Structure 1
Amino acid sequence: MKQQRFAHKLVLVTGLASALVLLLVGGMAFYVGEQNIRDQLAEYQADSALTRMQGVDRTLFTAYQGIKVLAKDRRLIDLVGGDLGTLGNSRENEVSDYLEEISLLTGPWRVVSLLDTEGNLLVSNMPNETGDLIGAHPEYESAFQAAMEKRLYSSDLRMIGEEKNRSMIFAAPIHDGGLEGAQVVGVVMASYAWPVVVQLLDAVSPEVNVTLLRDDGTVIGTSSAQSDRVGSEYLNWESVQSGISGSRSRAVGDITDEDGTNSLIVAARQSGYLGYAGHGWTLVMEVPYKVLLAPMYTLAWRVGVTGLVGVLLLCLVLYITGMYLARPITRMSQTVRTFSRGDMTSRVEIAPGGNDEIAELGRAFNAMAEDIDFYVEQVKENSKEVQAFAYIVSHDLRAPLVNLKGFSTEIGYSMDELKALLGPAIATMNQQQQAEVLAILDEDIPEALQFIGSSVERMDGQIQAVLKLSRLGRKELTWEQVDSALVVKQVLSSLKHQLEDKQFVVKVRDLPSVEADAFALEQIFGNLLDNAVKYQADTPGQLEIWSTEALQEITFHIRDNGPGIDEANIHKVFELFRRVGRANIPGEGMGLAYVKTLVRRHGGRIWCESVLGKGSTFSFSLAQKPSAQPRELA
């Protein structure tokens, strides 16, 4: 398995953590910020709509004041000479030109006309449009009558003719001599120049739908690009009207268009300006949220990209830093790995003057390595001495045993000869003496010789077992890939008759191929399976064999339903000459000691789990690469 470097893990963890924090914090900030910005932008747009509406009011106030200025203009009064009905053509042209001139100063006006007290048109700056924009206005009579009653009049905006020309008229009385309260000698009536309002509405962003509504919900003003909507009914008029009812002069809400576009809608009601009260108009602005929040989305995108770049730069810095900091740890890891493989001379290199935690760890490892090296050498020496001692003792003990067995046999032969020589002497003895002598010669001495012989054979077997165990610890193992399933199959085949006699049901799961010594692996499985069969008392017997695999080792398990082992005796089963269970089973008590030695030589361990009366499970592990392990001391 490929190892990941510390720097890689540091970069990965930091990158993921930073990205997660960036997403969480950024997401929360964006969510909270979006709501706050939505509210602030809504307030800003509402203020903007109110400002636009006030701008319209100011232009109308200018017209309202301008009509009064026109009615009191001294030059105009002097020109009409107090008798508007007797103007000649030259005088009419003079007045018309003057009306055009003064309309630019007092307006915004499109048409300015002078009427006599009967309502007849005397003069106009644009005679051809006077009838269309002033005379055709539905409030013309009301305006003229108000002026004759010495009052100023401001009409509502009306759609004139089939072309729906927008007309709004202002009227003011002309007093005799220009004196307030004097007799009304005429009326000045002017048509408001509506393009001024259109210019105000055109100043709004083209992506914003701006609409000016009459008090009945009729569209009376839009931007130039949406002029086709003039005269139509505003679809959301009821919602707008309910939002600005009572004392409220503005309203804010949300709408969804037919195409699914979500927009902010703000409305500002006409409140008049100074002395001009207005007509209850309403200015409505529909701002798509994608337009309204576009700057925030752009900012969020830039912040996100900047944050991502920052995370990448942080990861790069951490990678370089991690590689630098991990360099001594990597060297230490290599040293430890070499040391674990049996090179007891491996030591960690420590930079001169190093006084950080890594240097302290290196010094501690070197000190530990020195101690381990010393003790390993001592153990090796002691092991060699023990093995040599075991071999010598076993060899030297066999010589007297051979002599003891030979002399005991010779004594047996001599007893036969002695019995023949003592025959005449025995015949002279009385019956009781004869019986005692014959009992000694025929029973006591042969029984003693037989006991000596069996003891010698038993001791010789134990000595042979010690010698075998000693050889197992010194024997060179041949490492190769061994099919453990095939080894188990061969062992079970050799136990076929015993398995059939005890009606065993054997279940072998998939077993892997392992690196091992083939002969040693066969002995391990042979001893464990043979014990399971030998100690099985009840029938039918059950055997289950399977394996588990970990990163560094492979573990085999053998489970039976035998008599089991008492928990207090489990640790004894692997000791020399120890036997647990029925005593009538043949053996020397060395099988599991052999298995333990061979397993240890493979870089593994063996253990037992058992429940008395229910069976046992013997498990042993083998290193994945025992050939790369330092040799175990057997």
Structure 2
Amino acid sequence: MIKTGRVLKRKSFLKRRVKELEAVLRKCRKDISAQVWGLRKTNEGIRFLYKDLEKKTEKLLELDRLKSQFVFNVSHDLRTPISIIKGNIFMVLDGAAGAVNSGQKEFLNGAMKSTDHLARMIDDILDFQKSGAKDWKLKTGENDLNELAREVCVPASVAAKKKGLKFSLKLGRAPLKARFDKEQISHVLANLLSNAVKFTAKGGISVRAAGEGKHVHISVSDTGCGVKKEDIPRLFQPFERIGERKKEGTGLGLAISRTIVEKHRGSIWAESGLGKGSVFYFTVPRNGLSYGI
């Protein structure tokens, strides 16, 4: 009898326990169902937002394309009249329309300088638009970086000497062969040299080219105004003009240079300090093909 009572109590306990577990299970099922419903609604909302975001992204891309095309068309169409204006000013200065006195020459030279400045701005805008185009491709081939540096440094050295600046070019005797787009890398070096001459009032400019490992590199150093260390990253951003650099240009030259160098799988950077001059460096791979160029 005692054993039977214990068994009955045990069965009764188990039944109560089963009922409790069944109640817990039903509650869990309800909670899970509610969570599944919530997840479904959340997923529906995400899908709706994703589709809406896709549509807005497409619109923004189209607006950006139209903006870029508009800027390109306007800048390109301005080239012809500016060339005509420059040609006419030159002819007047040359006396083709009659004698020109010193006062008139001064005004005409000022007009020529402003026209040249405008032409450079348009060239910068066109180059910037081109460098950002998806279908822009490099025309690479084996070139000698030393030879390129000699060619590009000729006009820069003349401009530097006109300002009373010293100019030095230090190259190795052996050719510095690498695979790159000669026209574009020339553009990068010419831009760095133009900035060095523009922002150096006294002292000098030095250019070095060398090879190290799988890369070749060029540095352009000057004794110019320099920039604050914290402002260096901003130098390579589009339309950024810092300190003395606010006076001239579009702020696109270094941004274009960075795009060209990075397109070559290379690097470009600067070291500077306010009032301590600057050094700009850039590198490109020796064998562009092995880097997917």
- 1:516 corresponds to which letter in structure 2? F
Q: Hey, which of these two has a bigger chunk of helix by percent?
A: 2
Separation (CA, whole Å) in 1 of partners of 2:148 and 2:201? 26
C-alpha deviation, 1:559, in angstroms? 1.8
| Corresponding residue number in structure 1 for 2:69 | 395
User: Using a 3 Å threshold, how does the CA distance of structure 1 residues 555 and 592 change in structure 2: closer, same or farther?
Assistant: same
Determine if the alignment matches structure 1 residue 471 to structure 2 residue 130.
yes
After the TM superposition, which residues 394-413 of structure 1 pair with which residues of structure 2 at under 5 Å, given as runs? 394-396=68-70
Distance apart, 1:531 and its partner CA? 0.8
TM-fit CA distance, 1:547: 2.2
Q: 2:271·2:279 contact (CA, 8 Å) conserved in 1?
A: yes
Q: In structure 1, how many angstroms separate the alpha carbons of the residues matched to 2:61 and 2:155?
A: 33
**Identity of matched residues, %:** 24
Structure 2 distance, partners of 1:466, 1:504, is 31
Q: Could you tell me whether the CA contact under 8 Å between 2:226 and 2:274 is conserved in 1?
A: yes
In the superposition, relative to structure 1, how do residues 471 and 565 fare at CA in structure 2: closer, same or farther (>3 Å)? same
Find the aligned partners of 2:266 and 2:253 in 1 and give their Cα distance. 17
In the alignment, structure 2 segments of 5+ residues that lack a partner are: 1-56, 76-116
Equivalent residue, structure 2, for 1:84: none
Q: 2:205 aligns with which of 534, 542, 564?
A: 542
Alignment of 1:514 with 2:178, yes or no, is yes
Task: Provide closer, same or farther for how the CA distance between residues 388 and 562 of structure 1 changes in structure 2, counting only shifts above 3 A.
Answer: farther
Gap runs ≥5 in structure 1: 1-382, 402-457
TM-score, normalised to structure 1's length? 0.27
- CA shift for structure 1 position 478: 1.6
Answer yes or no: is the 8 Å Cα contact 1:394–1:463 preserved in 2. no
CA distance in 1, matches of 2:72, 2:285: 38
1:468 aligned partner, one-letter code: D
Quick one: structure 1 residues 387 and 562, their matched pair in 2 at CA, closer, same or farther if it must change by over 3 Å? farther
Distance 1:629 1:587 in 2: 33
Question: Counterpart of 2:251 in structure 1: which amino acid?
Answer: G
Deviations 1:79-125 (A, max 9, x none): xxxxxxxxxxxxxxxxxxxxxxxxxxxxxxxxxxxxxxxxxxxxxxx
Q: What amino acid sits opposite 1:541 in the alignment?
A: G
Write the letter of the residue equivalent to 1:514: A
Q: Partner residue of 2:225?
A: 563
Partner-residue secondary structure (3-state), 1:565 = coil
Match of 1:490 among 146, 151, 162: 151
Task: Note closer, same or farther for the CA distance 1:490–1:628 as it changes in structure 2 (3 Å cut).
Answer: same
CA RMSD of aligned residues (A): 3.4
SS at match of 1:603: coil
User: SS where residue 573 of structure 1 aligns?
Assistant: helix
Q: Please tell me whether the aligned partners of residues 604 and 623 of structure 1 are also in contact (alpha carbons under 8 angstroms).
A: yes
Q: Which has the higher contact order (CA 8 A, sep 6+)?
A: 2
Alignment of 1:254-265 (within 5 A): none
The question of whether the paired residues in 1 share the 8 Å contact of 2:157 and 2:167 is answered with no
1:194-343 equivalences in 2 (<5 Å): none
Q: Give the 3-state SS of the residue equivalent to 2:243 in structure 1.
A: coil
2:64 and 2:232 map into 1 onto residues whose CA distance is 26
Cα contact 1:391–1:470 (8 A) shared by 2 = no
Q: Distance in 2 between matches of 1:461 and 1:387?
A: 28
- Structure 1 543/399 Cα, relative in aligned 2: closer, same or farther at 3 Å? closer
Against the structure 1 CA distance between its residues 512 and 400, is the aligned structure 2 distance closer, same or farther, given a 3 Å change threshold? closer
Partner of 2:4: none
Determine if the alignment matches structure 1 residue 595 to structure 2 residue 224: no
Residue type of the partner of 1:521? Answer: I
Cα distance between partner residues in 2 of 1:520 and 1:529 = 14
Superimposed CA distance per residue, residues 300-354 of structure 1 (whole angstroms, 9 cap, x where no aligned partner) = xxxxxxxxxxxxxxxxxxxxxxxxxxxxxxxxxxxxxxxxxxxxxxxxxxxxxxx
Tell me the secondary structure at the aligned position of residue 495 of structure 1: helix
Structure 2 residue 242 is the aligned partner of structure 1 residue 580: yes
1:606 counterpart letter in structure 2: I
Find the aligned partners of 1:492 and 1:516 in 2 and give their Cα distance.
18
* Deviation of 1:576 (Å): 0.5
Q: Deviations over 1:246-277 (max 9, x none)?
A: xxxxxxxxxxxxxxxxxxxxxxxxxxxxxxxx
Task: Report how far residue 554 of structure 1 moved.
Answer: 2.4
